[in-house]
């Protein structure tokens, strides 16, 4: 009898597991037992008619993946950060300079990642962090530009993100950046591809539900660059955008294109208030 009751209990649990929505988990992220990471907070003002609360993608991942991110030793993304730290100290190009020649210790860059993409007055455009790194490389170091979202560039973005972890994302959407931001918002709500899906159809209307076998997040990019378990390397937000748009069966824009720069600014602004998490660990 007791055994039967037990089995019935298990059955109920399984049934609950099957029918329950893939809601964000109730968990808090503390990095290396010292840095509190904000993974849920009130939505920024421009988003208040859509969301009450914004949620980091970390809350939509499994236990093991979440734990992996909580300790720098366990986080495989930090392997690539270490590689970038070597590059930070290594002189490159005709000027014989390294990043550290001007910026000293990379810790001095704390907070920088949180404000990108950002308006650059001299260039008269919104720039992502990778664009700014390449500006330094070509104009100050006399070195070749790194390819967008590829090894060296994404590793450096992750290193710059890593020293900003715990600080709130805070990209400016007004002033000169406003028109780019509006272009990004337009892209976010534009349906693409044979499936006619916009970013919002999944990440706004259906986050917390399943998309085939996976959990749909809000599509926040505060954790980028992300180490993905599926390809065991760091992935940039533009590459993620490209993957999503491809999945709608559309021709995509290229990483580093003006369209994706605008989209990155807009999507980053949807996460204003969440902590910078990169390099995070995701599926």
Partner 1 sequence: MASGVKPRVKVPKKAAAGEAITIKTLISHQMESGQRKDDDGNAIPRSIINRFVCDFNGENVIDVKMEPAISTNPYFEFEAIVPEEGEFKFTWYDDDGSVYEETKAIAIG
Q: Which residues are catalytic?
A: 244
Q: Closer to partner 1 by CB, 79 or 110: give it.
A: 79
Here's the x/- map for partner 1, 49-78, by CB under 8 A: it reads as ------------------------xx-x--
Minimum Å gap between C-beta 152 and partner 1 is: 13
Q: Is 87 in the site for partner 1 (CB under 8 A)?
A: no
Polymer length of the chain: 283
Determine if the peptide bond prior to 225 is cis (ω within 30°).
yes
Here's the x/- map for partner 1, 95-134, by CB under 8 A: it reads as ----------------------------------------
**Residue 113: Cβ-neighbour burial (10 angstroms; 0-12, 13-18, 19+):** buried
DSSP 5-62: HHHHHHHHHHHHHHHS--PPP---EEETTTEEE--EEEPPGGGTTT-SEEE-GGGGS-
- Strand, helix or coil at 277? coil
Q: Closer to partner 1 by CB, 73 or 94: give it.
A: 73
Q: Closer to partner 1 by CB, 81 or 274: give it.
A: 81
Answer for which of 82, 89, 95, 144 binds partner 1 (CB under 8 A) is 82
Q: Is 232 in the site for partner 1 (CB under 8 A)?
A: yes
Query: Residues 9 to 48: which contact partner 1 by CB under 8 A?
Result: none
Query: Residues 166 to 205: which contact partner 1 by CB under 8 A?
Result: none
Stretch that binds partner 1, among 79-87, 138-146, 191-199, 258-266 (CB under 8 A): 79-87
Q: DSSP assignment, residue 171?
A: -
Q: Is 79 in the site for partner 1 (CB under 8 A)?
A: yes
Q: DSSP assignment, residue 97?
A: B
Size of the site for partner 1 (CB under 8 A): 7
167 Cβ contact partners less than 8 Å away, ≥ 6 residues apart: 110, 111, 114, 275, 276
Minimum Å gap between C-beta 79 and partner 1 is: 5
Minimum Å gap between C-beta 58 and partner 1 is: 20
Pick from 6, 31, 3: which is nearest to 164 by CA? Answer: 31
Rounded CA gap, 226 and 238, in Å? 12
Minimum Å gap between C-beta 233 and partner 1 is: 9
Minimum Å gap between C-beta 232 and partner 1 is: 5
Q: What is the pairing mode between strands 280-282 and 226-228?
A: parallel
Could you count the other beta carbons within 10 Å of the beta carbon of residue 239?
Answer: 21
**Structural contact between residues 106 and 159, judged by C-beta atoms closer than 8 angstroms:** yes
Residues that bind partner 1 (CB under 8 A): 73-74, 76, 79, 82-83, 232
């Amino acid at each position: 009898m007791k055994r039967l009751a037990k089995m019935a209990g298990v059955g109920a649990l399984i049934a609950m597991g099957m029918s329950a929505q893939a809601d964000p988990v109730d968990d808090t992220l503390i990095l290396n037992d010292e840095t509190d990471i904000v993974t849920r907070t009130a939505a920024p003002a421009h988003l208040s008619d859509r969301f009450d609360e914004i949620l980091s993608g970390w809350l939509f991942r499994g236990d093991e993946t979440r734990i992996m991110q909580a300790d720098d030793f366990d986080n495989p993304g930090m392997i690539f950060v270490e590689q970038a730290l070597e590059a930070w100290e290594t002189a490159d190009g005709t000027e014989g300079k390294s990043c550290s020649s001007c910026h000293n210790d990379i810790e001095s860059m704390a907070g920088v990642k949180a404000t990108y993409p950002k308006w650059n007055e001299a260039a008269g455009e919104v720039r992502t962090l990778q664009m700014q790194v390449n500006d330094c490389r070509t104009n100050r170091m006399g070195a070749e530009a790194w390819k967008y979202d590829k090894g060296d560039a994404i590793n450096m973005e992750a290193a710059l993100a890593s020293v900003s972890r715990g600080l709130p994302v805070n990209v400016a959407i007004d002033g000169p950046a406003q028109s780019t931001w509006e272009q990004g918002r337009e892209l976010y709500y534009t349906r693409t591809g044979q499936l006619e899906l916009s970013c919002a159809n999944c990440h706004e209307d259906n986050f917390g539900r399943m998309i085939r076998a996976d959990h749909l997040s809000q599509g926040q990019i505060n954790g980028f660059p992300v180490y993905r378990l599926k390809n065991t390397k760091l992935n940039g937000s533009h590459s993620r955008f490209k993957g999503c748009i491809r999945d709608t069966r559309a021709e995509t824009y290229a990483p580093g294109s003006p369209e994706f720069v605008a989209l990155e600014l807009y999507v980053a602004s949807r996460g204003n208030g969440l902590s910078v998490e990169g390099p995070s660990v995701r599926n």
